[in-house]
Structure 1
Amino acid sequence: MPVEADREVPGLIVKFGDYPLHHGGVGAIRSLGRLGVPMYAVTEDRYTPAAASRYLTRAFPWRTTGTEEPEALVEGLLRIGRRIGRLAVLIPTDEEAAVLIAEHQEALGGRFLFPRVDPLLPRRLASKQGLHDLCVEHGIASPAAAFPQSYEDIAAFAEKARFPVVAKNREAFLRRSRPAVNGTTRIATREGLLSLARDWGEHPGVILQEYLPREDAEDWIVHAYFDRDSTPLAMFTGVKVRSWPPHAGMTANAYVVDNPELADLAARFIKQIGFTGVIDLDLRFDRRDGQYKLLDFNPRMGAQFRLFENESGVDVVRALHLDLTGRPVPEGEQRAGHRYIVENIDLPALLAYRRSGYTTPHAPARPSGTELAWLAGDDPLPFLTMLARFVRPGAKHLYQLWRANRRGGHTGSGA
């Protein structure tokens, strides 16, 4: 069955914060735009890659930080909705947007379509502590973790901890002006932990987590769309080959790999917690005990979602739009062996992984096909716009991340 989308219902890409080089938003614009769905997007300005896409009907420049008052963000979305002039499907690309939409469903429901979910659930899932508690409650494996409330708690933890450990911001979805750590940070020694903790304030907003050695682990990802009954209408599994920064950041290279065990685990967990909508999960398979340990739960589309498409042409964004507009979601097997590459970060990631000697056993020897994050023959301007914006500030950014990696302080969100 071919994908037949409702072309009378547009899509709106929603993001809060200043990160113009976001390939996930471009992918969503192309995915629905190629079906003839009118696409709109919140952008930092009129010169972002998303704004340059031939499939974008209109960009709405709106600079935000993610720390604005929720009422102001809701009013901004409603203002955009009035300018669109008809019901539109909301497609959040970050946690701030997903949480805001869930917590203000009544205010936004008159202008937009989106999955109706427990208003408190996305915030809890995006929180490292909230996710850890849900994993414990429902018997889902996750790395051992501590949630210190003071420097004294950290000192006590350091006395008995097995190093290295990993530090993350407890509320990772909240873009604070001064986060405790820059994403995921590997801390090698007790002295290093105590030194860093002196800058975390009276109430450190961190989670200290068990480190899963990369030589004994594999990084897996699950993308799916669940309907109002928490039933998967589209389910995909894959393995992450490279990320940037290495082993702790955004996916740079990944493959579609069939993993029924992982798909079943994800489906059971979603059913238990009653989530509906798009999910992006990061899990690490620990060879030492044979368990998939849930690291991150993104209650929205992931930046690399275009890795996954079934034989009927359905990805999670298309499944979202089809379901919310009352259309059937065609079934089909995922494209096993398909590869995804993020051009601007995969080259430095490749060099770093060769240096470390890390390999992914489940990656196919040869891809069955390749999807590039930025370059598309039918839509070349986003790639060119990315290059123009990336070369000058981006090179400096990559250098800073590389330096952090060489010091052993891996940073990243795992998106």
Structure 2
Amino acid sequence: MASRSTPIAADRSVPGLIVKIGGYPLHHGGVGAIRSLGRLGIPMYAITEDRWTPAALSRYLDRAFVWPTTGTERSEELVDGLLTIGRSIGRPTVLVPTDEEAAVLIAEHAEALSGPFLFPPVDRGLPRRLASKQGLYELCVEHGVPAPASLFPASYEEIEKYAATARFPLVAKNREAFERRRQPAVHGTTRIGGPRELLELARGWGQVPGVILQEYLPREDAEDWIVHAYFDAESAPLAMFTGVKVRSWPPHAGMTANAYVVDNPELASMAAQFIKQIGFSGIIDLDWRYDRRDGRYKLLDFNPRMGAQFRLFESAAGIDVVRAQHLDLTGREVPEGEQRAGRRFVVENIDLPALAAYRRSGYTTPHAPARASGTELAWAAADDMKPFFTMLARFVRPGVRHLWQLWRSRRRAAAVVE
């Protein structure tokens, strides 16, 4: 096993480019990837919404390409934009997508992008299918991977029939990952308590509901687990990590706010077998829920790209999934090493409200270590503090503006009364 002190033999002649589609400037995953590769001396570039995002101000970023997108652009327009950036960089560059849209775009237009860019080879239709709740569920059924029981209604009439026999509560999610960029039927994961609530909501979902109705796994009987990994062109894992989610924001249904590395060989084996069966290559971020009622891990989400919390995981050799991808695509060996167990990841701007919410609910996460062996903060880093302060400014500013407007409106009301 390689030790952490062993230098990582990265190819510094090959840059990395953070690719994002849509407006979400406060993305700690992109900052983490810039730092991870930048600390190895790899030139780093990123697509950003403006010049003042946390990623744009990282000391490890060589250049930010300001290119605000919405996710509703034609794919040809997005490909042309990427190719323009590739010509500006002027040498083969490893692509690091941070969202499903980017991962799907790269896979579906691999032939056009393969000249100036390096990325894992994958069947062009697979990332889109994996990012779709329906596509993922069908693959799970096909390959015998446990998943929550799900319905993909084609009409309101089908929902009416289902409501008469369904077991409540249940959850509703958007069927396709891209719907959040357009007109989503539901916002995030929506818990539905009974038939009347379901039918009321369904009236607003249109003639062809773009939703999935899914079995609810009670949090008191469940544990949230995550798997991050990188698979080579033969779908062999070159880096594999498992951990447990302690808190998320919004509570129990949103982005990871606090998580720990916990060894789980059973879950790692399940994930590796599924990836081999479907023939995927690249970075994955999987969400699993362990259902203590039947003792099975059930796959909830498959993100065919880097997860925002990927820096939770690092091997004893200093390898994370982003480093593994760069090494593999540049023809370098990926050093072996066990994951650093007990390591903790904290997203500073959302973990505090998440902690308050979880304490009110009385929920605690099994398997979370009593003490962390080390903590990785999403934003703050001693060698790169500008992203942290930029995040604070952008995160706090809307709240301050709201309070200022509220104060001014109250003053006006008081003046009218006087």
Same fold, TM-score > 0.5, yes or no: yes
> Which letter does structure 1 place at the counterpart of 2:27?
H
CA distance in 1, matches of 2:182, 2:236: 38
Q: Deviations over 1:359-385 (max 9, x none)?
A: 111000000000000000000000000
Is residue 302 from structure 1 mapped to residue 307 from structure 2 by the alignment? yes
Q: Deviations over 1:216-264 (max 9, x none)?
A: 0000000000000000000000000000000000000000000000000
Q: Secondary structure at the match of 1:294?
A: strand
Q: Deviations over 1:175-228 (max 9, x none)?
A: 442110011111112111111111111111000000000000000000000000
Q: Secondary structure at the match of 2:121?
A: coil
CA distance in 1, matches of 2:335, 2:269: 20
The 3 A distance-change label for structure 1 pair 396 and 16 is: farther
Paired position in structure 2 for 1:273: 278
Is residue 285 from structure 1 mapped to residue 295 from structure 2 by the alignment? no
Please state how far the C-alpha of 1:393 moved relative to its aligned partner: 2.5
Paired position in structure 2 for 1:22: 27
CA distance in 2, matches of 1:161, 1:381: 51
> Which letter does structure 1 place at the counterpart of 2:218?
P
CA distance in 2, matches of 1:194, 1:164: 13
Paired position in structure 2 for 1:207: 212
Which consecutive unaligned segments of at least 5 residues does structure 1 have? 398-415
Paired position in structure 2 for 1:178: 183
CA distance in 2, matches of 1:296, 1:118: 19
Please state how far the C-alpha of 1:357 moved relative to its aligned partner: 0.8
Alignment of 1:57-206 (within 5 A): 57-206=62-211
C-alpha contact 2:46 2:56 (8 A) present in aligned 1? yes
User: Which of 318, 334, 343 is the matching residue for 1:329?
Assistant: 334
> Which letter does structure 1 place at the counterpart of 2:386?
L
C-alpha contact 2:22 2:181 (8 A) present in aligned 1? no
Is residue 13 from structure 1 mapped to residue 50 from structure 2 by the alignment? no
Paired position in structure 2 for 1:240: 245
C-alpha contact 2:180 2:187 (8 A) present in aligned 1? no
Q: Deviations over 1:118-151 (max 9, x none)?
A: 0000000000000000000000000000000011
Paired position in structure 1 for 2:353: 348
Paired position in structure 2 for 1:33: 38
Please state how far the C-alpha of 1:3 moved relative to its aligned partner: 1.2
TM-score, normalization by structure 2: 0.94
CA distance in 2, matches of 1:395, 1:242: 26
Paired position in structure 2 for 1:312: 317
CA distance in 1, matches of 2:114, 2:25: 27
C-alpha contact 2:172 2:211 (8 A) present in aligned 1? yes
C-alpha contact 1:102 1:117 (8 A) present in aligned 2? yes
CA distance in 1, matches of 2:398, 2:225: 31
C-alpha contact 1:67 1:174 (8 A) present in aligned 2? no
Paired position in structure 1 for 2:344: 339
Please state how far the C-alpha of 1:172 moved relative to its aligned partner: 1.8
Rg larger in structure: 2
> Which letter does structure 1 place at the counterpart of 2:29?
G
> Which letter does structure 2 place at the counterpart of 1:150?
S
Paired position in structure 1 for 2:236: 231
CA distance in 2, matches of 1:393, 1:273: 44
Any runs of at least 4 consecutive aligned residues in structure 1 with deviations exceeding 3 A, and if so which?
Answer: 173-176, 394-397
CA distance in 2, matches of 1:396, 1:160: 48
C-alpha contact 1:237 1:257 (8 A) present in aligned 2? yes
Q: Structure 1 stretch 152-161 or stretch 121-130: which is displaced more?
A: 152-161
The Cα RMSD (Å) is 1.1
The 3 A distance-change label for structure 1 pair 396 and 265 is: farther
CA distance in 2, matches of 1:26, 1:191: 44
Q: Secondary structure at the match of 2:84?
A: helix
CA distance in 2, matches of 1:155, 1:344: 41
TM-score, normalization by structure 1: 0.94
> Which letter does structure 2 place at the counterpart of 1:26?
V
Q: Deviations over 1:55-113 (max 9, x none)?
A: 00000011101111000000000000000010000000000000000000000000100
Q: How many residues align?
A: 397
Q: Secondary structure at the match of 1:358?
A: coil
Is residue 387 from structure 1 mapped to residue 392 from structure 2 by the alignment? yes
CA distance in 2, matches of 1:3, 1:127: 36
Please state how far the C-alpha of 1:394 moved relative to its aligned partner: 6.0
CA distance in 2, matches of 1:353, 1:21: 23
The 3 A distance-change label for structure 1 pair 234 and 80 is: same
Paired position in structure 1 for 2:410: none
Please state how far the C-alpha of 1:4 moved relative to its aligned partner: 1.5
The 3 A distance-change label for structure 1 pair 197 and 191 is: same
> Which letter does structure 2 place at the counterpart of 1:60?
F
